[in-house]
Amino acid sequence: MVTPPSLRPVALLRTPFAEKFGVPRQSGLVPAAEGRVEFLPEFSAPDFTRGIEAFSHLWLVTGFHKNPPWDGAATVRPPRLGGNERVGVFASRSPLRPNGLGLSLVRLLAVEPGVLRVAGIDCVDGTPVYDVKPYLPYCEAQPEARADWAQAAPGVRSAGQIYIPPAIAAVLPEEVAVLARELLALDLQPAYQAADAGRVYGMTIAGWNLRWRMAGETVEVVAAEPMPSGA
């Protein structure tokens, strides 16, 4: 067996997510989650991305750099199965994998010198990117494909179920408020942990620390504070 050479990043991702909690579980679920693929100097020449504007979407091959080393477990507990039922690691999208590689399908917004601006990202800030490949609809969009327990997109709350009090909405930049609403429409807490009204959750997005709680079927934002400069 031939051992392939060690992977090395070609770029780093800059995203609104400072930590793993709050990151969408799949790419494309939160269109307002924009990021920047910043190529390392040796891959930043325009020739590396020549013609990429012809494609609306891209695959990013990434690394789960915030993960602990793989512990050898053959099974994982997917959130879509409530976090209690186990399936094989290769039958899941779990980040807990032997090689810790991720795959994100993102929308290409713009091409800038040494940078790709993308949307629908599902990665923590600073994620290494090992490769970028165009998405090809003619062979990669398979409407007859079956995914059984993961066939349908996860449920989302309606806009009316996300409440940001006027006093908080007044201080949040518009793009942060849009991102927060799209994120809070999803279930962000661990799958095995039911959201309850007595618990306050928090996440850091786009330089803001947001805290929220459940009020019946509504998600209520209770605080929003800008992160200290340089944090």
pLDDT, tens digit, for every residue of 95-105?
889 999 999 99
Same domain, 122 and 163: no
| Nearby residues of 95 by Cβ (< 8 Å), 6 or more positions away | 64, 67, 102
The pLDDT of residue 81 is 79
The pLDDT of residue 143 is 87
Within a domain: 24:
yes
Last residue of a domain, one of 96, 112, 140: 140
Same domain, 111 and 210: no
Q: Is 112 exposed, middle or buried (0-12, 13-18, 19+ CB in 10 A)?
A: exposed
Whether the Cβ atoms of residue 139 and residue 17 lie closer than 8 Å to each other: no
Same domain, 34 and 120: yes
| pTM (2 d.p.) | 0.88
Same domain, 163 and 136: no
User: What CA–CA distance (Å, rounded) separates 102 from 122?
Assistant: 10
Same domain, 176 and 217: yes
The pLDDT of residue 145 is 84
Same domain, 94 and 197: no
Within a domain: 165:
yes
Within a domain: 150:
no
With cut-offs at 50, 70 and 90, classify the pLDDT of residue 214.
confident
The pLDDT of residue 184 is 93
Within a domain: 231:
no
Within a domain: 207:
yes
Last residue of a domain, one of 140, 172, 196: 140
Average pLDDT over residues 25-50: 96
Within a domain: 2:
no
Within a domain: 63:
yes
Same domain, 72 and 181: no
Considering 53-57, 195-199, 227-231, the range whose residues carry the highest mean pLDDT is 53-57
With cut-offs at 50, 70 and 90, classify the pLDDT of residue 94.
confident
CATH number for 76? 2.40.30.70
Same domain, 105 and 203: no
If you write DSSP's letter for every residue of 122-183 in order, what string do you get? ---TT-EEEEEEE--HHHH--TT---GGGSSPPP---GGGEE--HHHHTTS-HHHHHHHHHH
Same domain, 132 and 176: no
Within a domain: 122:
yes
pLDDT at 84 over 90: no
The pLDDT of residue 196 is 64
The amino acid at 170:
A
The pLDDT of residue 155 is 77
Instruction: Name the residue range of residue 81's domain.
Output: 11-140
Whether the Cβ atoms of residue 109 and residue 5 lie closer than 8 Å to each other: no
Whether the Cβ atoms of residue 160 and residue 181 lie closer than 8 Å to each other: no
Same domain, 67 and 181: no
Same domain, 128 and 186: no
Same domain, 20 and 105: yes
Split into its structural domains, the chain has a count of 2
For the stretch 136-157, pLDDT in tens is 999 998 888 887 766 667 778 9
